[in-house]
A and B are shown apart, each in its own frame.
Chain A
Amino acid sequence: GAVVSQHPSRVICKSGTSVKIECRSLDFQATTMFWYRQFPKQSLMLMATSNEGSKATYEQGVEKDKFLINHASLTLSTLTVTSAHPEDSSFYICSAREGQGYNEQFFGPGTRLTVL
C-alpha cells in the first residue's frame, strides 16, 4: 500500500512553545489529508481536513488558531500546535487520500507530543 510518513515521531516541548508536525505522502499525491488526535484508550478524533492549496476545514471544537494546518503541496501537510499546553499532549496521526470519494486513507505512524 501507499506510504505516509510523519516527522517527528516523538517530541517533548515546554509549555508556551510551538511544535510543527509534518505529514508526507511518499509515493502518491494526496488530494486530501486528515489530522487526527488520539487520547489514551480512545478513538481517533478527526481534527481537520485539508485539501491541497485551500484552507483546512476544522471540526467543531477544534481551535483553528491553535492548530494551524497547511497543505502546501500534494505530498506535504503540516500541523503546528501553537503555544502548546500540557493538555495538548497527545498522539497526533495524519492520513492521506488520493483522489476524492471513497478511496481509502493511508495513515502515518503518528507523533507523540508531550508538553511539559
Chain B
Amino acid sequence: DQQVKQNSPSLSVQEGRISILNCDYTNSMFDYFLWYKKYPAEGPTFLISISSIKDKNEDGRFTVFLNKSAKHLSLHIVPSQPGDSAVYFCAASDTGGFKTIFGAGTRLFVKA
C-alpha cells in the first residue's frame, strides 16, 4: 500500500521554465511534508518542507504547495536550471514526525 505516491517517474523541462513535481498521499494522519533531492549514488538532501497548517512555503526558486482536501502537494522550481536535474522524493511524516514515508521519486531532466 503506497501511502505516498509520485505518479510521474520522470519529467523533462527546458532550462528557464517552470518544473512542477506532484505528489499525492493517502494517510490523513500525515501532517508534515518534505521534498528531498537525490543525485545518483548519493543520499538525499533536504530541499523544502511544509506543515499541514500552511498551504504554501517558498524558499528561493523552490515553492511547495499543499492542498490538504485533495491530499496533494507539489514542488515548483522556477526558473529551472540544468543543475536541478536529479531525482526528487516527496516524503510525509506522521504526527510527531516519528516516521517518514517516501514516494517513489520523480527524475527531473532540465535541458539546456
Q: Which residues of A contact B (CB under 8 A)?
A: 1, 4, 6, 34, 36, 41-46, 49, 91, 93-95, 100-110, 112
A105 vs chain B, min Cβ distance (A): 7
Q: How many angstroms from the CA of A81 to the CA of B44 in the assembled complex? A: 22
Judged by a CB distance under 8 angstroms, whether B104 is at the interface is yes
Judged by a CB distance under 8 angstroms, whether B80 is at the interface is no
Q: How many angstroms from the CA of A36 to the CA of B19 in the assembled complex? A: 27
The interface centre, meaning the residue of A6, A44, A101 with most chain B CB atoms within 10 A of its CB, is A44
Q: Which residues of B contact A (CB under 8 A)?
A: 4, 9, 32, 34, 36, 41-46, 49, 51, 89, 93, 96-105
* 16 extra interface residue pairs, beta carbon distance < 8 Å, beyond A42-B104, A43-B4: A4-B43, A36-B102, A43-B102, A43-B104, A46-B99, A91-B41, A100-B97, A101-B97, A102-B32, A102-B49, A102-B96, A105-B46, A107-B43, A107-B44, A107-B45, A110-B42
Q: Is B43 a contact of A101 with CB atoms below 8 Å? A: no
